[in-house]
Structure 1
């Protein structure tokens, strides 16, 4: 388990992480979300003792990271896939990590096989593609067979097969009772992988809840209906005291009532329905709704961001030409 209590990090007048308190529990995949500049990377670095907090504490299975002997046996992490000596082979990179943490040499071959790099084990890491480097970083995280794993953007550079593999790997690690903490900007992948979400914005905790509850609490859910007997359907709904939103193209939207309830109502009145579908926002939509006021960096389209040039001098020059 990872436990944060009042974790704070300041850089001069800038507060990157502000009084974060949450726990990352074993047995589930916990997703860590936030806009750019929210403090995710700083938080993960403090978890691993790479940055010292200005206030608060982080405990890994009840201990501070600096108190862990052979830390790779407790917690494995992928924060930067490029954090390796490019002149070393994949095998020797992992062997150095193993020897510094009291891990058996045989474990190097095991994790190389797990991540699919056995065939290139003797090749220098500097010649690896982004995806291969990512797999090597994941191998390093798995090396000590730790109970806790942290991944920052684990699918970066991976092909579709690799993305499917890492998704299933994280799920299997969690199902085996391990603690899995993953940060990613790919909402579609997070929606398929994470069971629980921790969301921060401008260094503050915004949400600490299950995936299902997060989407339900931060988005609109409704039922969409279509019928060839649209006017009669409207009458039936109004008579039942149900508020309807007309969405165009003959489509009706109803909040606060289940599809089962609406289907039974239509059935009692022998109404034909061409569509009866519950609609739920995606994780991305719910995330955008919650973090709208916490986004630090706003992009603009080129049309709106284009500079307005003063052409009066050009006209003068053209007249004199």
Structure 2
């Protein structure tokens, strides 16, 4: 179990983590979500004693990480998958970790087979692809057969088979009664993997709840209807006092509607329906709704023109010439960037 109490971290004037209090319990996969810059990595580093809290407390099975007698047997972590010496083979990298932590040599071969690297155990790590490096990092986390596992972006670089494998591995570890804490930006995968969620924004706790309760509490259900008799369905819905929005594909969306009642309404007026679907918003939609006010970095739509700059700039005293407007300068720099390609 991992316990945080009023955990706070400042870097100069920047408050990276703001009085976080929550518990990561064994037996379930707990997802750790937040926008870029929310403080997730800093929080995980403090859990592992890599950063010192400004105030507050974090305990691993009741103790600070620094007081654990056999840390690799208690906690396995994947924070930086490529934190290995490129000149060493996968086997020797893990062997160094095993010998320095009093682990048996045979454990190295076991975890290499578990992560699918048994056939390349003798190859130097510097020649590994991103996905292979990720598997080696996961092997390092599993080496001590720990009770607690922390994974930061574990599916990064993995192919579909690898993503399927790590998802089921984390669920299997949790089913064995271990504590599994995983941070990821891949919402679709998190929705399939985690049962519980911790969500932070700007260093503060936004949610500590089950996956189902999080989605239900931060999004609205809706019913989607489609009929070849589009106009008549519109009239029937309007006359019944049902507010329906026409979507881009021509179907109707009724927020918080009851599929059974809407189906009965259509049947009563002998309207053929090609679709009658009750839908729940996705984890991604719920996450965006909750964290909208906590996003630090905003991007413009792809392909959109850059925002216009001021119409007039003060002239350069040396040349008497004005600098270009922002958009003009952007186009010129973009042209220079692509010149000769």
State TM-score, norm by structure 1.
Answer: 0.89
Aligned counterpart, 2:186: 186
Deviation at 1:293, TM superposition (A): 1.3
CA distance in 2, matches of 1:160, 1:257: 36
Deviation at 1:271, TM superposition (A): 3.5
Is the Cα–Cα contact under 8 Å of residues 74 and 144 in structure 2 kept in the other structure?
yes
Deviation at 1:219, TM superposition (A): 2.0
CA distance in 2, matches of 1:249, 1:45: 46
Q: CA RMSD in A?
A: 2.4
CA distance in 2, matches of 1:25, 1:201: 21
- Between 1:186-195 and 1:296-305, the stretch displaced more is 296-305
Change beyond 3 A, Cα 1:147–1:234: same
Is the Cα–Cα contact under 8 Å of residues 220 and 256 in structure 2 kept in the other structure?
no
How many residues were matched structurally? 314
1:246-285 maps to which residues of 2 (within 5 A)?
246-247=246-247, 250-285=250-285
Deviation at 1:165, TM superposition (A): 1.1
Is the Cα–Cα contact under 8 Å of residues 17 and 204 in structure 2 kept in the other structure?
yes
Aligned counterpart, 1:93: 93
| Pair 1:71-2:90 in alignment | no
Deviation at 1:126, TM superposition (A): 2.0
Deviation at 1:215, TM superposition (A): 1.8
Deviation at 1:4, TM superposition (A): 0.9
Deviation at 1:7, TM superposition (A): 0.6
**Counterpart of 1:254 in 2: which secondary structure?**
strand
Deviation at 1:250, TM superposition (A): 5.0
Deviation at 1:214, TM superposition (A): 1.7
Aligned counterpart, 1:7: 7
| Pair 1:31-2:52 in alignment | no
Which stretches in structure 2 are left out of the alignment for 5+ residues? 314-319, 323-341
CA distance in 2, matches of 1:313, 1:6: 56
Deviation at 1:196, TM superposition (A): 1.4
Change beyond 3 A, Cα 1:195–1:234: same
Change beyond 3 A, Cα 1:249–1:96: closer
1:134-213 maps to which residues of 2 (within 5 A)?
134-213=134-213
Task: String of CA shifts for 1:157-177, please: whole Å, max 9, x gaps.
Answer: 112221111111111111222
Aligned counterpart, 2:295: 295
- Between 1:268-277 and 1:236-245, the stretch displaced more is 236-245
- Between 1:117-126 and 1:11-20, the stretch displaced more is 117-126
Change beyond 3 A, Cα 1:159–1:245: closer
Change beyond 3 A, Cα 1:241–1:103: same
CA distance in 2, matches of 1:145, 1:157: 24
Deviation at 1:267, TM superposition (A): 3.6
State TM-score, norm by structure 2.
Answer: 0.84
Aligned counterpart, 2:222: 222
Deviation at 1:223, TM superposition (A): 0.3
Which stretches in structure 1 are left out of the alignment for 5+ residues? 315-321
Task: String of CA shifts for 1:221-269, please: whole Å, max 9, x gaps.
Answer: 2101123444554555456554333446653222223213322343455
